[in-house]
Each structure stands twice: as C-alpha cells, then as structure tokens.
Amino acid sequence: MIRSHLSPNRIVATAPILIIGLIALFSVGTASIHTAKADSALALSVTDQRVDIDYGEKISIATTIDTGIDAESISGVRTLFRARGGSTIWSYSYPQFKTNDSNISQLAVSFEILTGPGSYYPPGAEFDIEIEITDANGETASVISPEPIEYLDPTRDWKRVEGDGYTIIYYGVDRSSVDDLIAKIDHRIPTLEATLGVTDPPNFKAIVFPNIQEATPSFPPVSKTATDQYLFAGFAQPEYRLFVQGQMNATTFTHELAHLYTHEAVSSSFLGGIPSWLNEGLSRFLETGSSEPSNKRLRDTVSPDELLSLKHMLTIPGQRRDVSIFYPQAGAFVGYLIEEYSHATMADFLEQLNKGRSVEDAFELIYDKPLYEVENNWRALFGAEALPIPSATAEPSEHTDTEVEITSVPLVDYEAAANAASGGNTSSQPQSTATTAPSSLPTATPENTPVFDPSVFEDEQNPNWAVAGIVIGLSVIVGVWLFTSRRRMPKRKS
C-alpha cells in the first residue's frame, strides 16, 4: 500500500484553493438565488399620479401603485428621479407610503423634488420618475411613470410652437412675434449644422419669457447685483438640452441655440471642455453668420495693443475692460477661421476635439498650421504685433486680484449691461463700449454640477455578509486542522 503524506507547507498552499473553490460554488448558488428572485410576485403599475408644482421651491408628487400583492407585505419603497438631458444622473429618496384602505393591493407613495435654492432646475426641465418596491421576502420590482413631469410655473399660460429641431415654450407674447422669430431662426439652422457638424440634433427647448425682468427669477443663481440689475438676457443649459431667454430676440436665441449645438458636437470625449474663446466665439459668429459685426466693434473700440492672446482667453476674464474685448475678439477670430478656411473645416476641427485631441493638436491636424501662427496672421489684420512663439514648457496663467477662476456663470460688462437694462447711464458709472440695446444683453452658458447620487456607491460599499461569514468560518476550520495535524506529526530527528 502506498501512502501519501501532505506536508504542512503543501496543506497551507492548498487551503486557499479550497477556499476559492467553495466561494465560487457559493457565488453560483447566490446567482441562482438572485435569478429566482427576478420572478417576483410583484407586478407594479401606476394607476394614478398627481403633481403639484410650487414653482421655485419644489415639485410634490403623489402616486398610486398597484403592487399585484397584499400591500401590507411591502417593506420598503424607493423613488428615483432624473432630469432628461445629455448628462444628468439619477437621484433617489425614501418616501412616505401607505396602503389603500379600499384596495389591499394598492400603495400610495408621496415624495418631493426640491427646486429651490441649492437645488436649482431650469424651467422646462422634464423629470423621469421610477419607483422601486421591496416586499417582506426581499424581492424588488420597479415601475416607471408613463409620462415625465415638466417643471414650469403653473400660474403662467404657457404655449408651444415647433421650429426646425426645437420647441419654443412661451407666454405673454403675440403669436405673430413667435412666428417671425421662428422664420429667422429656421433660416439660421443650416449654417449652425454646417459649421458645427451636428446634422441630427435632439429636439431642444427654448423657454422664452416676455421680458428680462420676468425671466430673471428663473435664471440660475447669480450675484445679487446681477439679479437686481437684470444683467443677463439668457442662459444656455446644455445638460438639459434647453435654454432660458428673457425676450423674443433672434440674436439672443441664435446665440443660445448655438451653445446647445456646440455642446452636442463636443461632448464627454473632450473631458476638459472647449476653451471659452472657441465656445463664445462660435455663438457670437453664428448670431449673424458673419464676422463683420465683431470686426467693426474691435476696430471702433479696441486698440491693437489691447487685443488679448488666446492663451488668456481659455476662460472668460474677470476685468471689465477685458470682458468688453473678449466677446468681439472671440467672434472675430472664430469668424476669421470659418470665413478663411470654410465651415466644413471648423466642423472637422470640432470632430477631432470630440475624439479627445487637444486644441493645439486638433488645430494643426485640420488647419495644417500651428494655432499661434494663424492667430498672428489674424492679429496682423488689425495692426497688432505678432505674439512670440510659445515655448515647449507651458507658462502659468496670469491672474490679477480682479480676475476670477472658472465659474458657472462668466462675468460680463456690468456697467454697459445695467445701462442697457435701464435705458441710459448713471452718474456713478462710466460709459462702456458694450452694446447698449436691450436686445443685446450678455448671455451666459453655465455648467451645472450634477447632483451627487450615493446610489452609485451603495452596491460597492455594502459587503456580502454571507460570503464573509463563510470565508471566516472556513479559515477557522482550516487553521484548527493545520494546528492539530502539525501536533500529531512526529518530530523530525536532526
């Protein structure tokens, strides 16, 4: 008879394999259990849903769910909501719920979506609602509300008109004014598509108020000065695929719509976002489809030695004078690129950015010249000195005490905008070079931070206590076995 003896070292080496095998078997069994739970007796359907909008504060939702079982056995309810758009995420809460006295299978669920300070959502945002229900056996099922919830002030008589790839939602304006606006915007759409390379955009929304004063309370939170003096004409909200505007003005409308198109052209692949000179320059140029308005503004109000370098236009500057130069210069330079090299070339440039290339690499690939060389060619048209060739080592950004870091709402020329809103100058504020017509108030494109969703981490954070218990138990057993086996083995003679 041949006997085989396992040394303690070999037993130690074999133990982890044994444990891993048992864990694998347990995991298969657990998967089978979860698969079985998918065949839950829960059969959910929404039988009624009531929505109450307290505009500027919250959305209250009362939903009746037929569970298909005795609702008394329901142990938990979770509601999830997400604003529709290109980059929004799900948020969730654990709401109040109770059974229906007249129908034992129905469950009444009540919850809120906060929309006030600290939880801003733009008017026109649409929310998808999902409700998860767990019974006493731990089985879970979910149901999605058949209709989204649209966030609009219920005290207003909102109307809707369809344009070419967008919907205008408005009140307090004659229909003829809306039709005139649509005719002008639809004429601009082919230029937007050709310049930005977006030929199949989603349907955008334009929430248009009759005037800036009525629109301002619905704008994203900004400074009290900006709010009190009505310093903004509109805000683009690319993450919701909509914009909010304070007047029926074709120039502002086209500017904001161009921001939404640009966001679709250059999205998540370009993680750093596009520089402000390109983003604002595209919208400025596309307002009219010509660089001439921006060129004229620069020649009339800016001396050649005041022109900014593109490396200082990555974000909107904070100095008032620089802001008054930034917007027309961005429109003039981007307009030069489009008119000198074609709309299709700009679309190819944006496509390369969307693939993840840096601005400099994408530019040189498409335009066959370094960006600084084309920038100097453009500066020469205005009699400005050429900028030095950039060094291989990136220079640190220059900041002054009056400049600001990246912000969700770029600063604008406050003096001129205040004069535009009030119709004239004040004795305490000097005349600015910014456009003074109310129809030309500054616009901004905030990048809202998405709401943090803890549910993303729940499954990763919660340990599987069953697996942990088995692993600990097996470790104890193997440890005891090794200890007793070693004591029984005869000692080797030296």
**Torsion over CA of 308, 314, 317 and 321, rounded to 10 degrees?**
20
- 52 bridge partner residues: 60
Tally of residues, the chain: 494
Count of C-beta atoms within a 10 Å radius of residue 160: 10
The rounded distance, in Å, linking the Cα atoms of 209 and 171 is 6
Mean pLDDT, range 470-475, rounded to an integer: 70
- Does residue 8 surpass a pLDDT of 70? no
Question: Which strands, in side-by-side order, build the sheet including 166-170?
Answer: 159-162, 166-170, 204-208, 242-245, 234-237, 443-444
The rounded distance, in Å, linking the Cα atoms of 219 and 122 is 7
- Does residue 128 surpass a pLDDT of 80? yes
- Give 424-459 pLDDT, tens digit per residue: 433 333 333 333 233 344 555 544 333 323 333 233
| Three-class secondary structure of residue 52 per DSSP | strand
- C-alpha distance across the termini of the chain, in Å: 28
Q: What DSSP string runs through 63-88? A: EEEE-SS-GGGEEEEEEEEEE-SSS-
The rounded distance, in Å, linking the Cα atoms of 389 and 381 is 18
pLDDT band with cut points at 50, 70 and 90 for residue 160: very high
- Give 391-412 pLDDT, tens digit per residue: 754 444 443 333 323 222 232 3
- Does residue 99 surpass a pLDDT of 50? yes
Taking all residues of the chain, what is their mean pLDDT, rounded to a whole number?
77
**What pLDDT, on a 0 to 100 scale, did the predictor assign at position 289?**
95
- Residue written as token pair 């070339």: 345
* DSSP letter assigned to residue 391: P
HEC string of 83-95?
A: ECCCCCCCEEECC
Q: CB burial class (10 A; 0-12, 13-18, 19+) of residue 459? A: exposed
- Give 35-71 pLDDT, tens digit per residue: 333 345 788 999 999 999 999 999 999 999 999 888 8
**What pLDDT, on a 0 to 100 scale, did the predictor assign at position 337?**
98
For residue 336, give the nearest of 365, 306, 374 by alpha carbon: 374
**What pLDDT, on a 0 to 100 scale, did the predictor assign at position 100?**
79
The rounded distance, in Å, linking the Cα atoms of 327 and 313 is 10
- Does residue 203 surpass a pLDDT of 50? yes
The rounded distance, in Å, linking the Cα atoms of 431 and 227 is 21
- Give 280-324 pLDDT, tens digit per residue: 999 999 999 999 999 999 999 999 999 999 999 999 888 888 989
How far is residue 226 CA from its own chain's centroid?
23
Q: Which of the two residues, 485 and 380, has the higher pLDDT score?
A: 380
Is the sign of the CA dihedral 357, 363, 365, 370 positive or negative? negative
Q: What are phi and psi of 344, to 5 degrees?
A: -65, -35
- Does residue 245 surpass a pLDDT of 90? yes
> What share of the chain has pLDDT > 70, as a percent?
68
| Three-class secondary structure of residue 493 per DSSP | coil
Q: Which of the two residues, 128 and 479, has the higher pLDDT score?
A: 128
The rounded distance, in Å, linking the Cα atoms of 317 and 398 is 11
- Does residue 10 surpass a pLDDT of 80? no
pLDDT band with cut points at 50, 70 and 90 for residue 229: low
Asked if 375 and 337 count as a contact pair (C-beta separation under 8 A), the reply is no
Cα angle 232, 424, 243 (rounded to 5 degrees) comes to 15
**What pLDDT, on a 0 to 100 scale, did the predictor assign at position 232?**
75
Structure tokens at 438: 């109310």
**What pLDDT, on a 0 to 100 scale, did the predictor assign at position 484?**
65
- Give 346-360 pLDDT, tens digit per residue: 999 999 999 999 999
- Does residue 416 surpass a pLDDT of 80? no
